[in-house]
Copies of this chain bind each other. A is one copy, B any other.
């Protein structure tokens, strides 16, 4: 194998595929990057079995070949080289030589044949969505996946396509996050992607109008970004019927400025940290939302301007769940829909209909 390529392009390609490598693996080959030099293209692949990432860059290939190099050391070497042309070629005894200006590295490599195959996916059942939109949907839901593994299906995010609408849903025992967007497909899909791999997909997606094509098979999802393909294993099992969890009626509705409410809750939660499981109390009055909290440190009272439709209500929350939601929403004004101090609270944007968040209240001992 022998090829020539730009340092900057190679470095970027490494940083993309490296996201599939989760750290120390029992199989050293999975800490490696497969390099395939063919035609005028260099293909880099990394995989931790659950997640595989492949990316292609232009290269002047003098001699075709396939091999695997340790991702960490190879990535560090390329990153530290001067911004110039790099020549890479194999030598005897499983060595590759990396040459760039006056730098010359001999690095042990592994055998390309030992690298696990990545799933071959028939790119048939496709829909498309702008990368920035998908990125936003992932950000808006993946924070809410269950952290513990008692119900493995809840560590994933539901991808549901129904009636030309894509919905992403995540939930644990305390809150639910739902984001939806209209898409152009007649297919219906209902599948669950591991939250962990989705966080890596998030990092690779660009905040742009560029399209990502998405394909599903029985066990995998493929995100095709053009020169980069990301393949994730799907979670087995059926997701919770989330629609039955979301209440569609409410007794009161509060309109409030998101940033103001977030500030109040963040400050109130400072007093709720020690031995108090982040407990904050809401006293919802016609024009004001009063937030209080206390602990052995002292107590706090915060007020946010609010517009209430319905009866006043006292209700308590774990501040962390509200902060998580209010931080990832973008709109200026939000709406909270409530029924009683023991029923779920729904949070939406005031003016757009593309998200719904549900947070369970904390039941106070009387």
Enumerate chain A interface residues (CB-CB to B < 8 A). 70, 73, 76-77, 80-82, 95, 102-108, 263-264, 266-267, 270-271, 296-304
Complex CA–CA separation, A118 to B303 (angstroms): 40
B299 touches A103 (CB 8 A): no
Would B105 and A271 count as touching, CB distance under 8 A? Answer: yes
- Selected contact of A77 from candidates B104, B263, B270, CB within 8 Å: B270
Contact of A95 among B77, B80, B298 (CB under 8 A): B298
Which residues of chain B are within 8 angstroms of A107 by Cβ–Cβ distance?
Answer: 297-298
- The answer to whether B80 touches A298 (Cβ under 8 A) is no
Complex Cα distance A108/B80, Å? Answer: 52
Quickly give the copy total for this chain.
Answer: 2
Complex A-B: 11 CB contacts under 8 Å: A80-B267, A81-B267, A95-B298, A102-B303, A103-B264, A103-B301, A105-B299, A106-B298, A107-B297, A107-B298, A108-B298
CA A353 – CA B13 in complex, angstroms? 45
A252 to chain B, nearest CB (A): 22
Q: A80-B263, A103-B301 are in contact. List 12 more A-B contacts (CB 8 A).
A: A73-B297, A76-B270, A77-B267, A77-B270, A80-B266, A81-B267, A82-B263, A95-B298, A102-B302, A104-B302, A105-B267, A105-B301
Whole-angstrom distance between the alpha carbons of A77 and B296 in the complex?
15
Contacts of A108 in B (CB 8 A): 296-298
Contact (Cβ within 8 A) A270 B302: no
